[in-house]
Amino acid sequence: MTDEPADQSNASGSGGTPDDQSAADTPSHRRTPGGGVAPEARPIEPAAPEEFGLVQAFWGDGKGKTTAAMGMGFRAAGHGYRVHMLQFMKGGADSVDDVRGEYNAIAAMPGFSYENTGHYGWHNMADGSREEDHESEADAGLERTRDLVAAAADADLESPFALDSDPESGVHMLILDEILYAADRDLVSPDAVCDLIETKPPNLELVLTGSHAEPTYLEDDADLISQISKEKHPIDAGQRARSGTEY
């Protein structure tokens, strides 16, 4: 007579199969798709992206537009791509310190550089800054952006750049932080923003941020438009900007 297989569920008294029991005994982090093993960090070496060239825009009344753009910049720099961020409207305010965490982090990141063309204070915010100064700084930022786009057009964006190279030698990703806010405030014209898109080289990834008002003028030119909406913000309860989260 052939022996019948034992009833494993009754034998264990758990109501499950051996595989179920084994899984339950395995630490939760080992049951993740990666098996709980973190990808190994590799040295950052100069490289060139294969699929850059899109235009991305982040706007809305919520917190996180600049954060999203810089996070993408760090991701690109981590692959060895050359990234540069030019900031409009970020010259400083009495609610933040002169030294900001993002600048320290960018300075420590190979292949990532930044510059700030903004004037102290915020336009139309009654903070003591002169409106004509905001306008002249925005004009200077726009001219600087045109120079950087032209430099990228003259460069070979299919090749790596030295991680410490000047942005005038070309970059793979150009972040224009708060340029949409400047356009919303009529400090630069929306047409000028669209002209930057139209004149950029095909392989340059262009990232635009800013503005609480929808930049409808980008509808035909941007490949990605993300609205960052505010559901709740601690500033509404009187919380000022905090070191490590806002600057």
Residue range 65-86, pLDDT digits in tens: 999 999 999 999 999 999 999 9
Distance CA 127, CA 135 (A): 15
CA torsion 217-141-57-129 (nearest 10°) is: -90
pLDDT value of residue 131: 53
Distance CA 223, CA 150 (A): 21
> For residue 67, with 0-12 CB atoms within 10 Å meaning exposed, 13-18 middle and 19 or more buried, which class applies?
middle
Look over the chain and give the mean of its residue pLDDT values, rounded to a whole number.
84
Q: Which residue has the higher pLDDT, 203 or 120?
A: 203
Is 57's pLDDT higher than 60?
A: yes
Distance CA 168, CA 86 (A): 13
Confidence of residue 20 (pLDDT cuts 50, 70, 90): low
Residue range 98-126, pLDDT digits in tens: 667 888 999 999 999 999 886 544 444 44
Confidence of residue 22 (pLDDT cuts 50, 70, 90): low
Is the CB of residue 209 less than 8 Å from the CB of residue 118?
Answer: no
pLDDT value of residue 238: 86
CATH code for the part of the protein at 55-237: 3.40.50.300
pLDDT value of residue 123: 45
Distance CA 224, CA 219 (A): 9
- Among 98, 103, 100, which residue's Cα sits nearest to residue 85? 103
Is the CB of residue 148 less than 8 Å from the CB of residue 176?
Answer: no
Query: What letter would DSSP give residue 29?
Result: G
Distance CA 13, CA 25 (A): 16
Instruction: Give the angle subtended at the CA of 158 by the CAs of 65 and 177, to the nearest 5°.
Output: 15
Which secondary-structure segment (H or E) carries 166? none
What is the maximum span of the chain, computed from C-alpha positions, in angstroms?
100
- State which amino acid sits at residue 226: S
Distance CA 165, CA 120 (A): 28
Distance CA 104, CA 12 (A): 58
Confidence of residue 58 (pLDDT cuts 50, 70, 90): very high
pLDDT value of residue 193: 97
Share of the chain above pLDDT 90, in %: 59
Is 213's pLDDT higher than 90?
A: yes
Give 245's strand partners.
Answer: none
- Among 76, 57, 97, which residue's Cα sits nearest to residue 246? 97
pLDDT value of residue 134: 66
Distance CA 199, CA 144 (A): 14
Q: What is the mean pLDDT of residues 149-161?
A: 98
Q: What is the mean pLDDT of residues 160-176?
A: 98
Distance CA 149, CA 143 (A): 10
Q: Locate the domains of the chain by residue range.
A: 1-36, 55-237
Confidence of residue 21 (pLDDT cuts 50, 70, 90): low
Distance CA 179, CA 140 (A): 12
Q: Which residue has the higher pLDDT, 15 or 160?
A: 160
Residue range 7-18, pLDDT digits in tens: 444 444 445 555
